[in-house]
Amino acid sequence: MSLLLDNQFKELPPDKSIDTKLFLETVAHLPTFFDCLGSKVFSPIKSDISGNITKIRGIYLKDPTKYVTLQSILEAEREAHAAEWPKVGATLALMWLKRGLRFIQIMLQSLADGEKDENNPNLIKVNVTKAYEQALKKYHGWMVQKLFSAALNAAPYRSNFLKSLSKGEEVKEDVCLANVRQFLVNYTITVDAIYEMYTDMNAELDYTV
Amino acid sequence: MSLLLDNQFKELPPDKSIDTKLFLETVAHLPTFFDCLGSKVFSPIKSDISGNITKIRGIYLKDPTKYVTLQSILEAEREAHAAEWPKVGATLALMWLKRGLRFIQIMLQSLADGEKDENNPNLIKVNVTKAYEQALKKYHGWMVQKLFSAALNAAPYRSNFLKSLSKGEEVKEDVCLANVRQFLVNYTITVDAIYEMYTDMNAELDYTV
Ligand SMILES: CCCCCCCCCCCCC/C=C/[C@@H](O)[C@H](CO[C@@H]1O[C@H](CO)[C@H](O)[C@H](OS(=O)(=O)O)[C@H]1O)NC(=O)CCCCCCCCCCC
Ligand SMILES: CCCCCCCCCCCCC/C=C/[C@@H](O)[C@H](CO[C@@H]1O[C@H](CO)[C@H](O)[C@H](OS(=O)(=O)O)[C@H]1O)NC(=O)CCCCCCCCCCC
């Protein structure tokens, strides 16, 4: 039906802990989001995010009982790798993954809110740029920022992007945007909870690549 | 000692056939060439080339006796996939791989020949651009060409690049360039032979990505 609604995030429990297994299952579908952008130019980004997920899953599978929540992984790694932590293991992979997730969140929210370039209403550059500036730009050196600017020209038309989110079906635009809004509810709560965990555990880094 | 001399290409027999096993063993070291460029920006290129090698190796290993030379693989695939060939299997992977190999060849040859921007003698942009224009540009659409231009700014200084080709050892520049020339002898013969095979078998395509 829809790429997003087929893979909705679950509600979080009151303590906002995130079940690792459920999280990995749901997030595994998100790299295909970058296919919806329609150009092979975005495949290195898709690989980077898939790599983060593979890294976290690999660590989780070593001891699923110990690593039942995302927080339990961070705590175990802080203990085991005191010297390098948080630039290590699943802590590092999730640090970057959450930025990609935030990018997707802000871009979709901006589309759902109807933010547009009135002169080019069928372009999504404003939405992509907003998401990039808020989620990623500060972690990128000038070189990657420049590549982003160049890659931005490969962003698809709004109508084509919304269509591919609906897996190519001819869904009315307002239906598609309603789906996006529905998806964003638990998704945003989950991404916020991960950010909060990084703040609370003092696990955030701001080096640039 | 030197990234290149440690992994020299073998002389070809008089019929210029290329032994698949030897070729795969030698070429496997070349993706690290892109690490010598010193920026993570080049890692998608490294992955693309590594992917080509993995693809060819996977097919070779299915029947090492049948696929003893590169040409025997192309012939078998032409037979087995008449409709899609040459845009298929190891034939496609080697078609792209040879372009990456040619890029490396032209860039190194240009350095060995002392081609320089006299105003910026420690930059390698002229050598990289020459290699790109001759080996790859025509197979890239405007978008990837634009990304190339942006990525070019991440190219290292000549001195640092030569140093990393020597695996970080303080080798005199003329010694390093002599090594490059030595490496280029059989390497160029091998790359030429692959190009010739694609021409002879009418296996070359010129679609852009
Ligand atoms: C011939 C032509 C030549 C052209 C060559 C051009 C090559 C261009 C390469 C561009 C880079 C692709 C993006 C990847 C960037 C990555 O470098 C960063 C950091 O990546 C992290 O690094 C860590 C170590 O510091 C660990 O290795 C992490 O790995 S670990 O799992 O091992 O711990 C890893 O994710 N990730 C990022 O910045 C995340 C990116 C998120 C998505 C961004 C969405 C942007 C959408 C844009 C839409 C317009
Ligand atoms: C937030 C920031 C966002 C930024 C995002 C930017 C992303 C930039 C992405 C850049 C693309 C990386 C280069 C890869 C290009 C590839 O698209 C092409 C064709 O690749 C081929 O395609 C085939 C199908 O048509 C098969 O899949 C082949 O695969 S198969 O094995 O399955 O058959 C595959 O190799 N290879 C190429 O063009 C080869 C490249 C060779 C090396 C070039 C050297 C250039 C050196 C430059 C030095 C300055």
In this prediction, the residues of chain A whose per-residue pLDDT falls under 70 are 1
Which pLDDT score, from 0 to 100, does residue B170 have? 79
- Secondary structure (DSSP) of B33-102: GGGGG--GGGHHHHHHHHHHHHHHHHHHHH-TTTTSBHHHHHHHHHHHTTTTTTSSHHHHHHHHHHHHHH
Could you list the beta-strand ranges (E) of B119-200: none
What is the C-alpha separation between B135 and B139, in angstroms, rounded?
9
Taking an 8 Å cut-off on Cβ atoms, the answer to whether A153 and B146 are in contact is yes
- Chain B hits for A43, Cβ within 8 Å: 44
- Chain A hits for B40, Cβ within 8 Å: 209
Kindly report the protein residue whose alpha carbon is nearest to atom 14 of ligand 1. Answer: A45
For residue B39, give the nearest of A40, A143, A154 by CB distance.
A143
Taking an 8 Å cut-off on Cβ atoms, the answer to whether B40 and A150 are in contact is no
Task: Identify the band that residue B144 occupies on the pLDDT scale cut at 50, 70 and 90.
Answer: very high
Token reading at A109 = 């929210």
B89: left (phi over 0), alpha (psi -120 to 50) or beta: left
For residue A41, give the nearest of B39, B144, B154 by CB distance.
B144
Which pLDDT score, from 0 to 100, does residue A1 have? 54
Q: What is the widest separation between alpha-carbon atoms in chain B?
A: 54
Taking an 8 Å cut-off on Cβ atoms, the answer to whether B153 and A144 are in contact is no
Kindly report the protein residue whose alpha carbon is nearest to atom 28 of ligand 1. Answer: A93
pLDDT, tens digit (0-9, with 9 covering 90-100), for B119-133? 999 999 999 999 999
Which pLDDT score, from 0 to 100, does residue B1 have? 54
**Long-range contacts, stretch B203-206, CB < 8 angstroms, 24+ apart:** B203/B74, B203/B78, B203/B85, B203/B86, B203/B91, B203/B95, B204/B86, B204/B95, B205/B86, B205/B87, B205/B95, B206/B138, B206/B139
Kindly report the protein residue whose alpha carbon is nearest to atom 2 of ligand 2. Answer: A148
What residues contact B172, with CB distance under 8 A and at least 6 apart? none
DSSP 8-state symbol, B11: P
Predicted TM-score (pTM) above 0.85: yes
Q: Are B91 and B60 within 8 A, CB to CB?
A: no
What is the C-alpha separation between A188 and B95, in angstroms, rounded?
44
Which pLDDT score, from 0 to 100, does residue A63 have? 98
Rounded to the nearest whole angstrom, what is the distance from the C-alpha of residue A106 to the centroid of ligand 1?
18
pLDDT, tens digit (0-9, with 9 covering 90-100), for B22-47? 999 999 999 999 999 999 899 999 99
pLDDT, tens digit (0-9, with 9 covering 90-100), for B155-165? 999 999 999 99
Question: Does B144 contact chain A (CB < 8 Å)?
Answer: yes
What is the C-alpha separation between B203 and B95, in angstroms, rounded?
8
Which pLDDT score, from 0 to 100, does residue B169 have? 78
- Chain B hits for A149, Cβ within 8 Å: 150
Q: What are phi and psi of B117, to 5 degrees?
A: -85, 110
To the nearest whole Å, the CA of A64 is away from the closest chain B CA by 31
- Optimal mutation site among A143, A149, A208, interface B, most CBs of chain B within 10 A: A143
CB-based burial of residue B43 (10 Å sphere; 0-12 exposed, 13-18 middle, 19+ buried)?
Answer: middle
Q: What share of chain B is helix, strand, coil (3-state, %, to 5)?
A: 65, 0, 30
Which pLDDT score, from 0 to 100, does residue B2 have? 79
What is the fold of A5-200? Answer: Glycolipid transfer protein, GLTP (1.10.3520)
Q: Where are the domains of chain B?
A: 5-200
Which pLDDT score, from 0 to 100, does residue A136 have? 98
For residue A40, give the nearest of B47, B150, B209 by CB distance.
B209
Q: Are B72 and B91 within 8 A, CB to CB?
A: no
Question: Which ligand lies nearest to the CA atom of residue B142 in the structure?
Answer: 1
For chain A, how many helices (H) and strands (E)?
8, 0
To the nearest whole Å, the CA of A144 is away from the closest chain B CA by 7
- Chain A hits for B143, Cβ within 8 Å: 39, 41, 150-151, 153-154
